[in-house]
Structure 1
Amino acid sequence: MGYDIYISQKPIDGREIVSIDGMEVVKPVQIHSSIVVFAGRRYQEGKKGDAIVTDSKNLWVGVLTADCYSIFIIAERMVAAVHAGWRGTLKGITFKTIKYIQTFSEVEKVVVGPGICRNCYEVGYDVFKLFPRTVQSKIFTRKSDEKFLLDLKEANMIQIRSAGVKVVEDLNFCTVCNNDRFYSYRKEVTDKRILSAIRLI
Structure 2
Amino acid sequence: MWKPITSADTPAEPVDLSWREADWPLAGKVGTLITTRDGGVSPPPYASLNLGDHVGDTAANVAANRARVREQLPAEPAWLQQVHGITVVDAASVTPGQPPQADASFSRTPGAVCCIMTADCLPVLLADRAGSVVGAAHAGWRGLLNGVIEATVSAMNEPAANLVAWLGPAIGPDAFEVGAEVRDAFLAHDVHAVQAFDPIGDDKYLADIYLLARQRLAAIGISEVYGGDECTVIDRERYFSYRRDGVTGRMASLIWIKP
Identity percentage of aligned residues: 25
> Among residues 47, 55, 77, which one is paired with 1:25 in the alignment?
77
Go from structure 1 to structure 2 and tell me whether the alpha carbon gap of 1:59 and 1:130 turns closer, same or farther (over 3 Å shift).
Answer: same
Cα distance between partner residues in 2 of 1:70 and 1:193: 12
| 1:1-201 pair list within 5 angstroms | 2-10=29-37, 11-15=48-52, 16=62, 17=66, 19-21=70-72, 23-40=75-92, 42-44=93-95, 45-75=98-128, 76=130, 77-103=132-158, 107-133=162-188, 134-170=191-227, 172-201=229-258
Cα distance between partner residues in 1 of 2:200 and 2:141: 18
Q: Which moved more, 1:85-94 or 1:3-12?
A: 3-12
Alignment root-mean-square deviation, CA: 2.0
Higher RCO (CA-CA < 8 Å; seq separation 6+): 1
Larger Rg: 2
Q: What TM-score, normalized by structure 1, do the two folds share?
A: 0.90
Number of residue-to-residue matches in the alignment: 200
Contact 1:70 1:83 in 2 (8 A): yes
Deviation at 1:143, TM superposition (A): 0.8
SS at match of 1:62: strand
Q: What TM-score, normalized by structure 2, do the two folds share?
A: 0.71
- Provide structure 1 residue ranges, at least 5 long, that are not aligned to the other structure: none
- Provide structure 2 residue ranges, at least 5 long, that are not aligned to the other structure: 1-25, 38-47, 53-61
Q: Find runs of 4+ consecutive structure 1 residues off by over 6 angstroms.
A: none
Deviation at 1:104, TM superposition (A): 7.6
Deviation at 1:39, TM superposition (A): 2.0
Per-residue CA deviations over 1:79-117 (Å, capped at 9, x if unaligned) read 111100010011011122123323488643111110011
Contact 2:136 2:152 in 1 (8 A): no
Return the letter of the residue paired with 2:182. V
